[in-house]
Amino acid sequence: MATALSLWNDTPVRQAIVDYVAAVTDRTSPNFVPEVDRIATFDNDGTLWCEKPMYIQLSHGLRGIGRMAAAKPEVRDRQPFKAVYEKDMGWLGQVAADYAKGDPRGFITVVGGMAEVFEGITVAAFEADALEFLNDAQDARFKVPYKQLTYKPMVELVHYLQEHGFAAWLTSAGGRDFMRAVCEEVYNIPRSMTIGTSVAYKYAEDDKGVAQLMRTNEIEQPIDDGPGKPPHIARAIARRPIMAAGNSDGDIQMLTYAQGHEGATLELLVHHDDAAREYEYDAGAEKALQLASSHGWLVVSMKNDWKTVF
Amino acid sequence: MATALSLWNDTPVRQAIVDYVAAVTDRTSPNFVPEVDRIATFDNDGTLWCEKPMYIQLSHGLRGIGRMAAAKPEVRDRQPFKAVYEKDMGWLGQVAADYAKGDPRGFITVVGGMAEVFEGITVAAFEADALEFLNDAQDARFKVPYKQLTYKPMVELVHYLQEHGFAAWLTSAGGRDFMRAVCEEVYNIPRSMTIGTSVAYKYAEDDKGVAQLMRTNEIEQPIDDGPGKPPHIARAIARRPIMAAGNSDGDIQMLTYAQGHEGATLELLVHHDDAAREYEYDAGAEKALQLASSHGWLVVSMKNDWKTVF
């Protein structure tokens, strides 16, 4: 094995991670954990890949909303189709500003529009559209396809854990099926270990009698964020994680849930403090950063702990 | 490896299974399937273990309903608590008879009572209660603990598939968490690969700040039966199975979904034709048996194809 976590600077944070993994994998350690219980859960947006200037999935959704508005004049008189069709940046900016302040109504309108765009197509067709977008569409600042906006030190951490007998799960507040388009390629996380928010599926048989699963526009509750994250994790994994990584207030309950495991646990909070290489913001993570201090969660400084970002 | 499927008689059914597994695991075969796509899904009640004279989980639920009725007089004036408390076999028998005829209203009342009994306890506490029941309570006819009522040839088939690189998933129309109490012990199927119907979970923190997941009385939709089975499978597995096994009309869509996989697939339907060693019934499987004939599904005769049942 190459040097552990070679993309991380030699800091106390890197050392704490290495020490933790050493302890839980050492049979002679009082903190040894058998493989079956070595469960690590990772938030996605802002933890494993970039979430600014907007969620990558939102860019994909807005593209779909724009296409639908172009094709169907009858939707242009209502949001979010109207704003996207008219390139009304004021409305879209207000949605983002309201969301950051804790008012999700505009955001829910946008998400509802996204669900509507992809309603009634097969799950496979949705995924093909997401994959094409992630392969081809480029981020405006970094000039690379979106799927390259993963944080390489975090991907290295996922692989490091896997090499040490951990099962690493992706648990995204965003769309599960959007991530399933690339989770194996970009993270080496299996599709079945990628969970997240989703619309409900509907069973159908096509005109040849072949069973298909169609997307509905009904978003399953709870969404995989905040207090909804542990229920999603328990439903899919059925074991309490011993390690979890997030970056925002939406990850607090997941980190608390992992910390409730008997024995040694590790909670990571990725801190966006690197304006030069990525972005610098605490908005939406204020409470998590406070709790990190009181609960002993490890705050990862992108600026100081990582040799590289992308 | 010992003789393949040693608990099966040397019949065309056994041979068809062995031939199928040989074909999809042989790199030189035109029907070769890489390991990642070797997904097999198994229904539980009536497919992997006994479902008569009533669902095992129903026995567990009725015990809980009886306990609650004994402890809380205020519930005794409504169903299903009234019937259980008064040992009103007429009401309970009518529920079963109506259900078999396609009227699930009484059954839904019973299931609602079960959800109410276990509402507000932790997921772990529910599972401990289920485990205690499955370990200790005995089936009246076979005089063994319920967890011993697995069909040994089917368990052998699960292991045989696992030895050949298949991922075997349990997908139960009944309660997912009831099966998670014993799935690893009795089937060697991991908890995370055991899916099924469930109540929703609610996140909470106890008085020490430790995160817990509590059961609600809200049954998540769809239930994992009939047209709800493929959505559950796709949500959890995210790959279409190449093999599926069921025993009733509630498995038709799962079998059809597997058959829709490109390439060679295998669909099994366990036929309860063995009154001497188990039970003999077609009720609730009439349509599936018809489709087996027209769709080429393999009908497994408990009587003829199995050397032993339990």
> What's residue B100's pLDDT?
75
* Token duo for residue B221: 């939709």
Closest chain A C-alpha to B136 CA, distance in angstroms: 24
Task: Give the number of other Cβ atoms within 10 Å of residue A143's Cβ.
Answer: 8
> How buried is residue A269: exposed, middle or buried, by Cβ count under 10 Å (0-12/13-18/19+)?
buried
Q: List, in sequence order, every beta strand (DSSP E) within chain B.
A: 39-42, 167-175, 194-197, 199-205, 211-219, 243-246, 266-273, 280-281, 298-301
Cα four-point dihedral sign B298, B302, B307, B310:
positive
Closest CA to B173 of B142, B205, B195, B149: B195
* Token duo for residue A126: 């949705």
Per-residue pLDDT reduced to its tens digit, B246-292? 999 999 999 999 999 999 999 999 999 999 999 999 999 999 999 99
CA distances from A84 to A64, A67, A140 (A): 10, 9, 18
Per-residue pLDDT reduced to its tens digit, A129-182? 999 999 999 999 999 999 999 999 999 999 999 999 999 999 999 999 999 999
Backbone angles phi, psi at B176, to 5 degrees: -60, -45
Which residues in chain A show pLDDT less than 70?
1-2
Q: Find residue A111's DSSP bridge partners.
A: none
Closest chain B C-alpha to A111 CA, distance in angstroms: 20
| Secondary structure (3-state) at B10 | coil
Biggest distance spanned by C-alpha atoms of chain A:
68
Q: Which residues contact A231 (CB under 8 A, 6 or more apart)?
A: A222, B200, B201, B202, B203, B213
Pairing of β B199-205 and β B194-197: unpaired
* Out of A203, A213, A238, closest to residue B191 by CB: A238
* Token duo for residue A133: 């977008």
Closest chain A C-alpha to B262 CA, distance in angstroms: 10
From chain B, pick out residues whose CB is under 8 angstroms from the CB of A192.
236-239
Cβ distance A238 to B180 less than 8 Å, yes or no, reads: yes
> What's residue A1's pLDDT?
46
Task: Give how far the C-alpha of residue B16 lies from the chain's centroid of Cα atoms, to the nearest Å.
Answer: 24
- The answer to whether the predicted template modeling score (pTM) of the entire model surpasses 0.90 is yes
From chain B, pick out residues whose CB is under 8 angstroms from the CB of A183.
none
> What's residue A99's pLDDT?
82
Q: Is the CB of residue B208 less than 8 Å away from at least one CB of chain A? A: no
Task: Give the number of other Cβ atoms within 10 Å of residue A207's Cβ.
Answer: 5
* Out of A213, A227, A259, closest to residue B203 by CB: A227
Q: Find residue A234's DSSP bridge partners.
A: none
Q: Which residue of A has its CA nearest to B36?
A: A190
Task: Give the number of other Cβ atoms within 10 Å of residue A96's Cβ.
Answer: 15
Which residues in chain B show pLDDT less than 70?
1-2
Q: How far apart are the first and last CA of chain A?
A: 22
Q: Chain-wide mean pLDDT for chain B?
A: 96
Q: Is the CB of residue B256 less than 8 Å away from at least one CB of chain A? A: yes
Orientation angle between helical segments B252-259 and B286-295, nearest 10 degrees:
20
Cα four-point dihedral sign A202, A204, A206, A208:
positive
Cα dihedral A136, A141, A142, A146 in deg (nearest 10): -30
Backbone angles phi, psi at A26, to 5 degrees: -100, 115
Q: Which residue of A has its CA nearest to B212?
A: A257
Task: Give the number of other Cβ atoms within 10 Å of residue A106's Cβ.
Answer: 19
* Out of B192, B210, B257, closest to residue A237 by CB: B192
What is the C-alpha separation between A301 and B248, in angstroms, rounded? 56
- Chain A interface mutation, best of B35, B180, B201, highest count of A Cβ atoms under 10 Å: B201
> What's residue A102's pLDDT?
80
- 118-137 in chain B: CB under 8 A from chain A: 123
